Structure 1
Amino acid sequence: MIKVLVVDDSALMRRRIAELLGAAGFAVETAPNGEEALARLPVFDPDVVTLDVTMPGMDGLTCLGRIMVEHPKPVVMVSSLTAAGASATLEALRLGAVEAVQKPSASSIGAIGETLVDTVRAAAGSRPRRARGLRERLRLARARIAGEDFAASGSPPAASPAGGSAAPPVAPLAAVPSETDEPGIVVVGVSTGGPSTLEDILPLLPADFPWAVVVAQHMPVAFTATLARRLDEISAVRIVEATLPTAVEPGTVYIARGGADVELVRRGGRLVVTPVPPAPDALWHPNANRLMRSALRQLPASRLIGVLLTGMGNDGAETMAELHRQGGRTIAESEESAVVFGMPQALIQLGGAGVVLPSERIAGHMNRMVAAAAKRAG
């Protein structure tokens, strides 16, 4: 039986969340603040902690930091959809929290109940990632939320030393069609554990990366603008949230707006990334399958790279496997670095993963793939 510790300063919210999780078959205990949660951890030994972002006394970030240092556990942040709540929640995901869910009102908890139960269940089988340099990142997190200038506080992180065997050799892609000089596209699908995983990849891309990157990160609408801004601060490539139809440019990463989907279309002969209403038949948004399917309609497989990262479920696996069958390049994140191995595992099981790599080696492989394409085209 999965054991869950619910941490929230609201007695009503603790009771409602505990009832919801209990009805789903979880063993639940509660704590009204961070101090009591830390005291309960070694006694109850939960499989998952749900943690309120904003609490009096010990705030959610401080409590999370203590959990990750003293008793590492999968943590699901429960956040209000405000600007301050989104900022703190994104910091929590960077610091090692597995996932974030919207904090319900007393009247709306039933509406998000299934999402909360599914998230907790997935978190129980996840691999929590303790952030590198956690104490320093906690200090910077508080400074950023307080409004200090984080962009000037340091340079993009250096690549981690590669472990294990060397990456397999990269065969050149087919020649770029001579009639077009538009960039190729890297399509990235990612879900649970995504913000910290994207930090392992995007800051390692050079400023002159010759293709565009479009990211479908499963996330509510309140969080993606903050995510794009934070990633842009630590990356050489330009990173923006895709809120309006925008012509794609090389060296730019487009983060799909949360709560909706995004597609690649043609307008005036130009390749455009455009937000679209969420597909009613899809479980996850922004939807990676829908994005990849639109990319296959607009570009030959030789001009596409599909990257499937950590996340529960199988979003993106079907269409990236199709890309692989058509001769395109695909990368699946390996189990050793994935917080939740579901999405990349689904791609591997479909036979659609051209290469399987830990997150810290994916940017380098993307660089080699695109460089090989440019050399062949030249």
Structure 2
Amino acid sequence: MPIKTLVVDDSVLFRKALSEALGGFTVIELLGAAANGSIALKRMAQSPADLVFLDVHMDGMDGLQTLEHLRAGFPDTVVVMVSDSSTRTEETTIRALEMGAMDFVQKPEGSDFQASIDELKQRLRGILSHVEVRLLSRGPGSGIRPASPVVAARPQVKTAVGGFAIVAVGVSTGGPEALARFIPSLPADFWLPIVMVQHMPAQFTRSLAESLSRKARLPVAEAQEGDAVLPGRILLAPGGTHLVVRREHGKLIAGLTADPPENSCRPAVDVLFRSVAAACGDSGVLAVVLTGMGSDGLAGVQALKKKKCYCITQSERSCVVYGMPRAIAEAGLSDESVDIDVMAVRVSELAYFSQAHLYP
């Protein structure tokens, strides 16, 4: 089945470039283009699209306002934001991802039209793979998420729950929305350090960390070389750089490396999880694998399970793309599958159980 696609951007030149780039993919059926959000919504009412590419900044109804209408009126439509490299756009793009946009594509900066089309094609390949998986896995009304989800009975625990020294989180496609539901719901007295990898370009992870920190009761920061990994503090891997945890003189320290990408990713969840296994595995690690395409995190969890690790994966029904959690579950390494809206509750329960275990 072709993916019915609508392009929404106020630049005539970019609409043409993106439309031509999309035309190079046989899976795409281009319904047309719209110059602003109001026109796009009218087009959607006449002929709903499976996929909308939506400019972040437009005159009149901007990208965020349009996205809000799309999420309310067309919850099964996948939205990919179109952004430039300005700081203002980065912050707005993060907000859009937190609101439910699946991904984003950056506008080429060069003036060569054909080179821009070729660059867009390269950027679109991975995104369209994610979209295909999302559309194939959705069910009727799948875009509507209940405000108060029913929590399935917890499965029989495969790993004994003991003490934990740290929480390690891996997430990819759909991550900003998942993290916006998870991190701000953690209590202010959460006592374990948290380290996270979100697959995202460099300039966007800083904006994501700042956005989460404004919403959360715990401090969230983009990690820097030598940062102390402290209880109640959350460190996010910078885009384009691997995050590792080291133990130096009895203390946990964050490190950054420019080692080659793993699973085509830098930062990679596997790199972080392996380092956490080496630094904290004997003391216990609570691993959390959230929505994302592919299997990054699987090798890392395998390394953690050779030490002391309890692993939670996000439930299929609450994932944007059930790829990374599925890889863990199918390998028999997931101890629990939990809906994203109650993830903070379950992680907090395990953390406080751990505290009681360590300090009875």
- Whether 1:61 and 2:61 are equivalent positions in the alignment is no
Counterpart in 2 of 1:163? 150
Q: How do 1:58-207 and structure 2 match up within 5 A?
A: 58-72=61-75, 73-105=77-109, 106=113, 107-126=115-134, 161=148, 163-167=150-154, 173-174=161-162, 184-207=165-188
- The one-letter code sitting in structure 2 at the alignment partner of 1:120 is L
Instruction: Give the C-alpha shift of residue 15 in structure 1.
Output: 1.9
* Residues 140-196 of structure 1: per-residue CA shift (max 9 Å, x gap): xxxxxxxxxxxxxxxxxxxx74513343577764457xxxxxxx1211111111111
Structure 1: unaligned runs, 5 residues or longer: 133-159, 177-183
SS at the partner of 2:5? strand
SS at the partner of 1:51? strand
Distance 2:84 2:190 in 1: 36
TM-score by length of 2: 0.88
Structure 2: unaligned runs, 5 residues or longer: none
- The one-letter code sitting in structure 2 at the alignment partner of 1:96 is G
Counterpart in 2 of 1:5? 6
Distance 1:112 1:371 in 2: 47
Q: How do 1:341-356 and structure 2 match up within 5 A?
A: 341-356=322-337
Q: How do 1:221-300 and structure 2 match up within 5 A?
A: 221-277=202-258, 279-300=260-281
Aligned residues: 344
Instruction: Give the C-alpha shift of residue 285 in structure 1.
Output: 2.8
Distance 2:241 2:215 in 1: 26
Instruction: Give the C-alpha shift of residue 359 in structure 1.
Output: 0.7
CA contact (8 A) 1:172 1:376 kept: no
Distance 1:115 1:321 in 2: 31
Distance 1:283 1:322 in 2: 19
Instruction: Give the C-alpha shift of residue 243 in structure 1.
Output: 2.9
CA contact (8 A) 1:217 1:285 kept: no
Distance 2:338 2:302 in 1: 16
Q: How do 1:309-348 and structure 2 match up within 5 A?
A: 309-348=290-329
> Where does structure 1 differ by over 4 angstroms across 4 or more consecutive aligned residues?
127-132, 168-172
Instruction: Give the C-alpha shift of residue 280 in structure 1.
Output: 3.6
CA contact (8 A) 1:322 1:352 kept: no
Equivalent residue for 1:52, pick from 48, 52, 55: 55
- The one-letter code sitting in structure 1 at the alignment partner of 2:81 is M
* Residues 248-285 of structure 1: per-residue CA shift (max 9 Å, x gap): 10001111112222111233442111222252454123
Distance 1:330 1:368 in 2: 14
Q: 1:75 and 1:125, CA in 2 relative to 1: closer, same or farther beyond 3 A? A: same
SS at the partner of 1:15? helix
Q: 1:309 and 1:256, CA in 2 relative to 1: closer, same or farther beyond 3 A? A: same
SS at the partner of 2:188? coil
CA contact (8 A) 1:95 1:130 kept: no
CA RMSD of aligned residues (A): 2.3
- The one-letter code sitting in structure 2 at the alignment partner of 1:115 is R
Q: 1:192 and 1:44, CA in 2 relative to 1: closer, same or farther beyond 3 A? A: same
- The one-letter code sitting in structure 1 at the alignment partner of 2:127 is T
Q: 1:54 and 1:352, CA in 2 relative to 1: closer, same or farther beyond 3 A? A: same
Distance 1:318 1:44 in 2: 44
Instruction: Give the C-alpha shift of residue 345 in structure 1.
Output: 0.9
Identity %: 35
CA contact (8 A) 2:224 2:254 kept: no
Distance 2:122 2:116 in 1: 12
* Residues 118-140 of structure 1: per-residue CA shift (max 9 Å, x gap): 213313443675689xxxxxxxx
Q: 1:23 and 1:55, CA in 2 relative to 1: closer, same or farther beyond 3 A? A: same
SS at the partner of 2:122? helix
Instruction: Give the C-alpha shift of residue 327 in structure 1.
Output: 4.2
Distance 1:303 1:260 in 2: 25
Distance 1:284 1:129 in 2: 27
CA contact (8 A) 1:213 1:253 kept: yes
SS at the partner of 1:340? coil
Counterpart in 2 of 1:135? none
* Residues 208-242 of structure 1: per-residue CA shift (max 9 Å, x gap): 22211111011111211221112112211111111
Q: 1:54 and 1:189, CA in 2 relative to 1: closer, same or farther beyond 3 A? A: same
TM-score by length of 1: 0.84
SS at the partner of 1:336? helix
Distance 2:337 2:190 in 1: 22
Instruction: Give the C-alpha shift of residue 301 in structure 1.
Output: 5.0
Distance 1:109 1:260 in 2: 27
Q: 1:189 and 1:281, CA in 2 relative to 1: closer, same or farther beyond 3 A? A: closer
Distance 1:164 1:362 in 2: 10
Instruction: Give the C-alpha shift of residue 322 in structure 1.
Output: 3.6
